[in-house]
Amino acid sequence: MSSRAIRVRSGPCPRALVAALAWVWTLPVFAARFHAAPGLAAPDFALRALAGPNVRLSEHIGQVVVISFWGVGCDACRGQLESLQQDFSRYGSQGLRVYGVEVADEQAQALHFARGTHVTFPLLLDPAKTVARLYDVDDLPMTVLIDRDGKIRQVVRDFTESSRHVWEDELRTLLAE
Amino acid sequence: MPEAPYRFLLIAGLAALAAPSAFARSPTPTATAPAATASVASASAQGAGGGSVDEQVQSLKSDVLDLNRDLFVLEQELLYPANTQVAVFVSMDAGTFFALDSVQLKIDGKEVADYLYTPREVHALAQGGVQRLYVGNLKVGKHELVAFLTGKGPHHLDYTRGATLDFQKSIGAKYLELTITDDQKKLQPQFRIQDWE
């Protein structure tokens, strides 16, 4: 009995193994496969714009980039795009780039929706949801804030007035870096 | 391309293999440790004029960069051995009649690349840049490469064209070049795939 007890104690502890595996699973190399989380490098992409030239994210290293995922059927998206338009007008000269990524709607519908919002920043089309999958978009609107080094700094899934204040503070901090 | 975890494991394995050679280039760790400690201790005494710690850091950075480069070369050689390697390059000459938007590549009916170009990339190609669009592995034998190009043609109209090449893959790396040129007589763009000598 006692020797068995000793053997159990001297072997690898299952809890420690599970904890170690869980820790390994959270390493960026594993996490990056599933999530675009703060601290990780923003996945690169190239998309066609609703109007204007194609856009590749990696060409904007050195600038603060905001990516807002939106859709035609999303009521809150209109308010968010208009809010981002204010940020773009205010901070565009300081190196802020804003891109709205339209997820999986017809181009004509997206164009009609975009005209109603009066945004001046580029609106990109993601008809195959490739970029939405890369960024783990599970709800619309969803906004990603990327710093000058190309790393994700913040992901906002609920766009409310209170979250907007936190968001603007973070944006100002990034622009000042 | 392998998935991220496998890629990570591959690089870790290569790092382990490369480690002895990296150490072989420098004195043994046990021998350098006291010297390094001594130099760190003396660095503060030397002040700004000494710079020995900075030099060591620079040397270490240089070693890391060299090791990284070697690992990249090893990784490429493992992933795409010379015997099976096929690479497709894109180049552009003039491009007056065609504004490139995207290129889709199919080898033996299977899509292997779909690339969307930004104005900056098109400009780089127009300036003489050559892009490696695809690198992969193919068995020895006959194969078919099809390239679909989209963009704006003459008079800024949407333009889609294809180019096809039947090629023989033998032992050794195969390099193919997709060129976009202007046909001045027809005032049309011309697309051609050829062996890159």
Chain A residues with CB under 8 Å of B101 CB are: 48, 54
Residues forming beta bridges with residue B106, ordered by sequence position: B111, B146
At A69, which helix (H) or strand (E)? strand A64-70
Whether B116 and A32 lie within 8 Å, measured CB to CB: no
Please count the residues of chain A. 177
How many Cβ contacts (< 8 angstroms) between chains A and B? 30
Task: Write down the ipTM of this complex.
Answer: 0.71
- Residue in A66, A127, A130, A58 with CA at minimum distance from that of residue A92: A66
Using CA coordinates, name the residue in chain B closest to A55.
B118
Q: For residue B95, give every residue at least 6 positions away whose Cβ sits within 8 Å of its Cβ, in sequence order, or none.
A: B122, B125, B126, B180, B182, B189
Whether B118 and A56 lie within 8 Å, measured CB to CB: yes
Mean per-residue pLDDT pooled into runs of 10, chain B (197 residues): 48 47 37 41 47 89 95 90 90 84 93 94 92 92 93 85 90 90 82 85
| Residue B40 DSSP symbol | H
Chain A residues with CB under 8 Å of B3 CB are: 33
Chain B residues with CB under 8 Å of A47 CB are: 116
**Token pair listed for A62:** 């050195």
Asked if B1 and A30 count as a contact pair (C-beta separation under 8 A), the reply is no
Using CA coordinates, name the residue in chain B closest to A58.
B118
Q: At what angle do helices B29-46 and B52-79 cross, to 10 degrees?
A: 140
Residue from B104, B118, B125, B150 to probe the interface with A (highest A Cβ count within 10 Å): B118
Which pLDDT score is estimated for A22?
A: 54
pLDDT band at A35 (very low <50, low <70, confident <90, very high): low
Residue B120 one-letter amino acid: R
In the predicted model, what is the mean pLDDT of residues A77-93? 87
Using CA coordinates, name the residue in chain A closest to B11.
A29
For chain A, which residues lie within 8 Å of any Cβ of chain B, measuring from their own Cβ?
29-30, 32-33, 46-48, 53-56, 59
Question: Which backbone phi and psi does A49 adopt, to 5 degrees?
Answer: -100, 155
> What is the value of pTM for the model shown?
0.69
Of A32, A33, A59, the CB nearest to B120: A59
Task: Check CB contact of B119 with chain A, cutoff 8 Å.
Answer: yes
pLDDT digits (tens, 9 = 90+) for A145-159: 999 999 999 888 877
Which pLDDT score is estimated for A9?
A: 46
**Higher-scoring residue by pLDDT: B92, A73:** B92
Cβ neighbourhood burial of B92 (10 Å; 0-12, 13-18, 19+) = buried
Of A29, A53, A54, the CB nearest to B8: A29
Q: Is the pLDDT of residue A49 over 50?
A: yes
Q: Distance between CA B70 and CA B81 in Å, rounded? A: 16
pLDDT above 70 covers what percent of chain A? 80
